[in-house]
Amino acid sequence: MGIVIENEFSVDAAPDDVYALLVDVERVAPCIPGAEVIGRRDDGAYDAKATVKLGPMGLTYKGTAEITEADPAARRAVMRAKGNDQKGQGTAQALMTMQVEPEGAGSRVKMSSDILVSGRVAQMGRGIMQDVATRMIGEMAKCLETTLKTGQRVEADNPNAIGVMLGSVFRRKDD
């Protein structure tokens, strides 16, 4: 299943600082819920792992992440991440385009994620995937801001995907 998810969030930090953090894969990975950099390759890519808990279903993907395009003057970058489920039951790929713009005294980050998944996670509906991704982006935004304010490595909270899914189901019933 392929899906494009658009998100925007504000960060109380200078645009150049936000951009520098977003293109530093090793520094930004802890801000992505469940993500971890486990090594650097000679070609500039990083070995990475991402863990997602969906109630009793735990998925761990191992693969790579890399910045494939970077334009510091425009504060625009593209990150590609891909991985295979460690249990051999699917794959995940994401192409994330990130744009940082000034907003008042801080920054506005626009992200477009083109996600392609196969296996068990592809059986979830598009709306549920959107809700989980939106919650994860919210956690990422808080973590980015804290990292920039403190200068220390901070890890994002991994949202409870079952709670997100149940909330999504009940909201859709009421609509």
49's tokens: 């792992």
For residue 175, what pLDDT is reported? 44
Express each pLDDT in 38-80 by its tens digit: 999 999 899 999 887 665 667 889 999 999 999 999 999 999 9
Domain ranges, residue 138: 2-174
Residue 78 CA to its chain's centroid (Å): 12
What's the whole-model pTM score? 0.79
Q: Count of domains in the chain?
A: 1
In 13-105, which ranges are E strands? 35-40, 46-54, 57-71, 76-85, 91-103
**Alpha-carbon span 79 to 87, nearest angstrom:** 25
Express each pLDDT in 84-106 by its tens digit: 998 888 898 989 999 999 999 99
Positive or negative, the Cα torsion across 95, 45, 27, 102? negative
Express each pLDDT in 1-28 by its tens digit: 578 888 888 888 999 999 999 999 998 8
Kindly report the CATH number assigned to the domain that includes residue 116.
3.30.530.20
